[in-house]
Structure 1
Amino acid sequence: MPDEHRAHSRDFVASLDKGLKVLLCFDRKHPRLNLSEVARLTGYSPATARRLLMTLQALDYLHGDGKHFWVAPRTLLLARPYLTSRPAAQLAQPVLDLLAERTRQSASLGILLDKDVLIIARSTGRRTLSTGLGIGSRLPAYCSSLGRALLSTLPMEDVTNYLASTALEPWTPKTTRTIAAVTAHVTRCRITGWAECNEELELGVRSIAVPVHNTAGEAVAAVSLSVRAERMTMQAFEETHLGAIREAGRRLGATVPFD
């Protein structure tokens, strides 16, 4: 439902929308938040943020110590219906497992959701990474290989609008933070069919991603592989593993229904 229609729809429950936005404030960068931080991240008044936080705590979706709040285990129940009822994650898992086992690295499958990449399936190889990624993790599209691969499938006007409305924050000292540079990465992916992230999300971690197209030729997701930087250069990474990533992308597009 478009934002401009929500406030005028009799079927739209604004309080539910606000509560869910509060829950979504918590992530890897914000594992513990206080009242003022939640108000800032959501744009709600402190009074509104406080009522929402206290309600979520009373329902056992948040825990707190009187000053800070953090996500409680009950929130896992919100993801369970998707994981158990939709086939995408289940059917994708064997493909990711095979990619991870073949390369001995970590493989991820993501879709574009709002301004972020949402990880919907993941397999960790024998050589584990410290990224802490898992199903449900969100990544910024502008500086992740998954995000750049997904952005490359959109009309250029949409990419321009996305970049103009996104704060290009520095995740590491190597994060690309100019619209021109991000656009160049996306354009390169349009030409080559793959995107890279060279220590821009986490120092010491490189990743390569390719878009996943379904049997109708529509871009529906992206699959990536990540390696420790000390194990291989980006050039060696491309030469060694790009073929396997592309093969996984083709298999995912042919066998996994994304809806």
Structure 2
Amino acid sequence: MTDEHRSHPRDFVASLEKGLKVLLCFERKHSKLNLSEVARLTDTTPATARRLLMTLQELDYLHSDGKRFWVAPRTLLLARPYLMSRPAPQLAQPVLDKLADRTRQSASLGLLLDHEVLIIARSTGRRTLSTGLGIGSRLPAFCSALGRAVLSTLPLEEIVRYLSATPLDAYTPKTVRDLASATEQVQHCRTYGWAECNEELELGVRSIAVPITSVAGKTIAAVSLSVRAERMSMDAFRQMHLAAIQEARDALRATINFD
């Protein structure tokens, strides 16, 4: 974030921003990182990265073996204030549990966050997926069903601008990577009311998502369901479970004020 986009740049603590970037660069594919990797992922100098890492280790937010660093259990405290004080995750859980139990699949609720979708609630059905997703997981918006659904009610120019600024990385050989196709997938949701991801994030996993809109018609979140590809085709998936996802969407929209 640049100074021109900050409301009060004089009150902005850049070192805090850098420290949070360090914590956020740890994820499933980057579970343990060395100093140079952290510097590259956070776009800081090695000297700055070292000071940040050592400070976070001293505060017990990171552990280290002397070469690599990984997050410590204390980092869970950073998510607790949101989970405990905001109503959305708590109110959404029974709805997602009902959807997962009814379909025997995994259900998720996500919000748009920069160029990703942040999962704020999730329920795993009896047929557990191997994706390792949970509350706090992030998915690329351009090729996930959740992301496409959340983007779907934006004006076309805004969609193109958003996707143009997004790295279209390949997660599987089936990932859509060109701007025209990525835009078309979002447009599909605008036309039909649902978005899909057919093995683009993980081979063997299919997802369908529907947007959750406010009274003013703005997409504020999305709810999705995921299945193993060997269990059913995308057509069968839609026929069997789309109505249930839409019912969950209606229940979430009626009970939750997303803020």
Same fold (TM over 0.5): yes
Q: Quick check: 1:91–1:256 contact (8 Å CA) kept in 2?
A: yes
Cα separation, 2, equivalents of 1:215 and 1:51: 47
Alignment of 1:79-228 (within 5 A): 79-228=79-228
TM-score by length of 1: 0.97
Structure 1 residue 10 displacement after superposition: 2.3
| Whole-Å separation in 2 of the counterparts to 1:7 and 1:214 | 26
CA distance in 1, matches of 2:103, 2:234: 15
List alignment gaps of at least 5 residues for structure 1.
none
| Offset at residue 216 of structure 1 (A) | 4.0
Question: What is the rounded CA distance, in whole Å, between the counterparts of 1:5 and 1:154 in structure 2?
Answer: 21
How far apart, CA to CA, are the structure 1 residues paired with 2:165 and 2:137?
A: 22
Which amino acid is 1:84 matched to?
M
Give distance in 2, aligned partners of 1:172 and 1:139.
14
How many residues get paired?
259
CA contact (8 A) 2:151 2:219 kept: no
Matches within 5 A, 1:36-51: 36-51=36-51
Counterpart in 1 of 2:29? Answer: 29
How far is 1:150 from its partner? 0.8
Distance 1:62 1:146, change over 3 A: same
Residues 198, 207 of structure 1: 8 Å contact kept: yes
Residue aligned with 1:208, SS: strand
- For 1:5 and 1:116, how far apart are their aligned partners in 2? 19
CA contact (8 A) 2:152 2:219 kept: no
Could you tell which deviates more after superposition, 23-32 or 88-97?
23-32
Provide Cα deviations, 1:120-145, integer angstroms capped at 9, x if missing partner: 00000000000000000000001100
CA RMSD of aligned residues (A): 1.4
Offset of 1:202 from its aligned partner? Answer: 0.6
Deviation at 1:215, TM superposition (A): 3.7
Kept after mapping to 1: 8 A contact 2:3/2:9: no
Question: Structure 2 CA distance, aligned partners of 1:155 and 1:57?
Answer: 44
CA contact (8 A) 1:149 1:210 kept: yes
Which residue identity is paired with 1:239? Answer: Q
Runs of 4+ residues deviating >3 angstroms: 5-8
Q: Is the 8 A contact 1:215 1:253 kept in 2?
A: no
CA shift for structure 1 position 92: 0.5
Distance 1:179 1:253 in 2: 31
Residues of 1 paired with 2:240 and 2:7: CA distance?
Answer: 52
Report how far residue 155 of structure 1 moved: 2.0
1:20 aligns with 2:20: yes
- Give CA-to-partner distance per residue, 1:87-143, whole Å, 9 cap, x none: 000000010000000000000000001110000000000000000000000000011
Checking the alignment, whether the CA contact within 8 Å between 2:110 and 2:121 is kept in structure 1 is yes
Cα offset, 1:8, TM superposition: 6.8
Contact preservation (8 Å) 1:63, 1:69: yes
**Change over 3 Å in CA distance of 1:177–1:3 after alignment to 2:** farther
Counterpart Cα distance in 1 of 2:51 and 2:168: 31
The CA distance in 1 between the partners of 2:18 and 2:7, in whole Å, is: 12
Equivalence for 2:66:
66
